[in-house]
Amino acid sequence: MLSENEMKLEFISRSNNEAFARIAIAAFVASLDPTIEEIADIKTSVSEAVTNSIVHGYEDRIGLITIICKINDREITIEISDNGKGIENVEMAKQPLYTSKPNLERSGMGFTIMESFMDDLKVESVLGVGTKVTMKKKLKEFKEDKDISLIEALEG
């Protein structure tokens, strides 16, 4: 089992790359044998952060989104950054239902979803420079005997 690993992914801020980012992170984390719930939480959080970069960071222009994902033991750290317009007030933006784009029918729940699905969320942003979202999640301990105990239960 890997105890440390790291990857970096860069792509342009087109909406169809959001699915690519989700799948790439899921594939990278798969070596830790996460539960279905854990992988769904990670994919959803990545999706929210990438979508924020596309819709809010770059608005109507194309820019670069960078994802760095690190594995240390069973903790996943994911940094998603852009060089977009930045967030004027991070604390306000993190409030449930807050959206700077009500005309686009945005729900304003992106940061709330990330906070609820991940163990830790940090948002750093500078106007005119960009935003970096760092999320962490500790995966449950891997149990190698789970298949054996299932077999034993079926035989018993």
Q: Are 86 and 126 in contact (CB under 8 A)?
A: yes
Read off the amino acid at residue 3: S
Q: Are 2 and 32 in contact (CB under 8 A)?
A: yes
The answer to whether 52 is a known catalytic residue is yes
User: Which of 18, 38, 48, 79 is the catalytic position?
Assistant: 48
59: left (phi over 0), alpha (psi -120 to 50) or beta: left
Total Cβ atoms within 10 A of residue 99: 17
User: Which of 18, 22, 52, 79 is the catalytic position?
Assistant: 52
Q: Which residues pair with 123 in a beta bridge?
A: 133
Q: Are 142 and 90 in contact (CB under 8 A)?
A: no
Q: Which residues pair with 80 in a beta bridge?
A: 67, 133
User: Which of 17, 74, 83, 106 is the catalytic position?
Assistant: 106
The answer to whether 106 is a known catalytic residue is yes
Question: Active-site residues: which are they?
Answer: 48, 52, 106
